[in-house]
């Protein structure tokens, strides 16, 4: 074990073996079910087995880090937070089996969506459970980063192979691994490494990126919508990786006056000056979308729902129209800007699916993504979610 020098207690090793047995049982049971409904189940068995074996190796390697920060005594149990993280690892391993194959038809496509949605929700709560149980450990941090990186890479590879995202998006999935490789090479060459600068937006960008990846594999998501939104999310995340690499490699000095001056200018541009313009653009473009679909609800939205076999298509289309009619002016006023931008992605997506990509729904999509990432900015009447979005769940 290279992650630490202490030998894990027997109770911790037993929990690892129990985890391995559970993963094996779920893997085999999933294969038995999959073999009856999908002809590519053999490839799934090999790929998912390799991913699950890698996940178990990661857990075993980091077991000596199962201690609280600042303490040397190893904890005898993995704790509730790590248990939820292990559930994420299991779902990611099952997802990996669908790589390099066609998009599964029907309900099986939604099983893929469900698996990654579980990992996304678990990622939000595992740290909270660890903090509540006073079980925050370097082991948990290591597993969180490993499964974050693996899950992101797997979902991006799936989205690219299914045709939802362009090929260059794979670079974002490899970004963390290239970052870690760069750190390793600098250590091997004896070159200095510096601490990463704190960033209030790093976790926010990563959270919205994961949220986007949770829906990019929805079979109902229009590809133009996935490409536009994905490009914006990837730009924010990729620029963050670039800035962090320049800092740790010494190319940028966060303490330098010039760095701070540029940082202030960028903050003023993207977080102060532009958000009110995004809000105005959203109001204008949503008005154009609703005029194009008049009378409400748009017939094209109902036709899409009927084609899916959705129950109560008229009622659902009316609900989508209500979200558009009420949500756009509220965001324009700066009321629940980020949350309502997420909600407005539904009617915008239906409009893109119904009319195709047009100037108004494309611009509306850009506006809501920028508001998700950067917030509503100044002159917002009720940006209440801004008080909690920069804070981890359970932290004061």
For 177-224, the pLDDT digits (tens) are 999 999 999 999 999 999 988 777 788 888 889 889 989 999 999 999
The sign one gets for the Cα dihedral 238, 244, 246, 249 is negative
The residues spanned by each domain of the chain are 1-162, 258-389
- DSSP three-state, residue 99: coil
Report, as an integer, the average pLDDT of 90-97: 97
DSSP code at position 159:
H
Q: What angle do CA 159, 143, 187 make, to 5 degrees?
A: 95
pLDDT tens, 319-375?
Answer: 999 999 999 999 999 999 999 999 999 999 999 999 999 999 999 999 999 999 999
> Residues 248, 250, 254, 259: is their CA dihedral positive or negative?
negative
What does the pLDDT average to over 130-147? 92
Q: Mean pLDDT score of the chain, rounded to an integer? A: 92
Contacts of 376 (CB under 8 A, 6+ apart): 275, 276, 279, 331, 334, 337, 338, 383, 386
Instruction: Supply the pLDDT for residue 52.
Output: 98
Whether the predicted pLDDT of 1 surpasses 50 = no
pLDDT for the residue numbered 347:
97
The pTM is what? Answer: 0.91
Please provide residue 333's backbone torsions phi and psi, each rounded to the nearest 5 degrees.
-85, -5
Beta bridge partners of residue 335, listed in sequence order? 382
Q: CA angle, corner 215, sides to 98 and 118, nearest 5?
A: 70
> Which of 67-76, 108-117, 290-299 bottoms out in mean pLDDT, i.e. has the lowest?
67-76
pLDDT digits (tens, 9 = 90+) for 10-69: 889 999 999 999 999 999 999 999 999 999 999 999 999 999 999 999 999 999 999 988
What is the distance between the alpha carbons of residues 335 and 383, in angstroms, rounded to a whole number? 6
Q: Is 40 exposed, middle or buried (0-12, 13-18, 19+ CB in 10 A)?
A: middle
Q: Is the four-CA dihedral 369, 372, 376, 377 of positive or negative sign?
A: negative
What number of other Cβ atoms are within 10 A of residue 219's Cβ?
Answer: 15
* Averaged pLDDT for residues 70-88: 91
Residue partners of 83: CB distance under 8 A and separation at least 6: none
394: pLDDT confidence band, cut at 50, 70 and 90? low
Strand, helix or coil for residue 382: strand
Predicted pLDDT of residue 9:
81
Task: Dihedral sign for Cα 233, 338, 155, 87, please.
Answer: positive
| Residue 374 and residue 274 in contact, taking contact as beta carbons nearer than 8 Å | yes
First-to-last alpha carbon distance for the chain, in angstroms, is 36
The pLDDT score that the predictor gives to residue 61 is 93
Pairwise CA distance, residues 320 & 297, whole Å: 8
């Amino acid at each position: 074990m290279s992650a630490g020098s202490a030998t894990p207690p027997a109770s911790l090793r037993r929990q690892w073996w129990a985890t391995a047995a559970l993963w094996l049982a779920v893997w085999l049971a999933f294969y038995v079910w999959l073999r009856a409904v999908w002809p590519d189940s053999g490839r799934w068995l090999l790929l998912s087995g390799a991913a699950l074996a890698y996940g178990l190796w990661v857990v075993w390697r980091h077991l000596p880090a199962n201690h609280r920060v600042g303490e040397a005594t190893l904890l005898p149990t993995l704790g509730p937070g790590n248990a939820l993280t292990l559930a994420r690892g299991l779902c990611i391993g099952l997802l990996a089996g669908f790589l390099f194959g066609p998009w599964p038809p029907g309900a099986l496509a939604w099983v893929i969506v469900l698996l990654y949605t579980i990992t996304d929700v678990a990622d939000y709560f595992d740290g909270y459970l660890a903090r509540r149980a006073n079980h925050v450990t370097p082991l948990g941090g290591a597993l969180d980063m490993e499964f974050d990186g693996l899950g992101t890479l797997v979902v991006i590879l799936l989205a690219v192979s299914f045709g939802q995202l362009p090929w260059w998006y794979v670079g974002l999935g490899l970004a963390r691994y290239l970052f870690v490789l760069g750190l390793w090479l600098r250590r091997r060459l004896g070159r200095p490494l510096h601490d990463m600068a704190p960033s209030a937006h790093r976790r926010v960008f990563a959270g919205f990126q994961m949220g986007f990846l949770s829906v990019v594999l929805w079979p109902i998501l229009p590809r133009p919508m996935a490409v536009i939104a994905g490009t914006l999310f990837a730009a924010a995340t990729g620029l963050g990786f670039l800035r962090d690499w320049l800092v740790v490699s010494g190319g940028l000095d966060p303490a330098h006056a010039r760095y701070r001056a540029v940082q202030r200018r960028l903050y003023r541009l993207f977080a102060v000056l532009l958000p009110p313009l995004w809000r105005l653009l959203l109001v204008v473009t949503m008005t154009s979308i609703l005029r194009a679909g008049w009378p409400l609800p748009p017939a094209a939205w109902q036709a899409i729902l009927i084609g899916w076999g959705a129950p109560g298509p008229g009622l659902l289309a009316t609900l989508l129209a209500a979200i558009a009619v009420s949500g756009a002016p509220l965001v324009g006023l700066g009321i629940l800007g980020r949350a309502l931008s997420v909600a407005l992605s539904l009617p915008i997506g239906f409009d893109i699916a119904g009319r195709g990509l047009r100037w108004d729904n494309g611009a509306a999509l850009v506006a809501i993504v920028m508001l998700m990432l950067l917030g509503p900015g100044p002159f917002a009447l009720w940006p209440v979610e801004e008080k909690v979005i920069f804070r981890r769940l359970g932290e004061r």
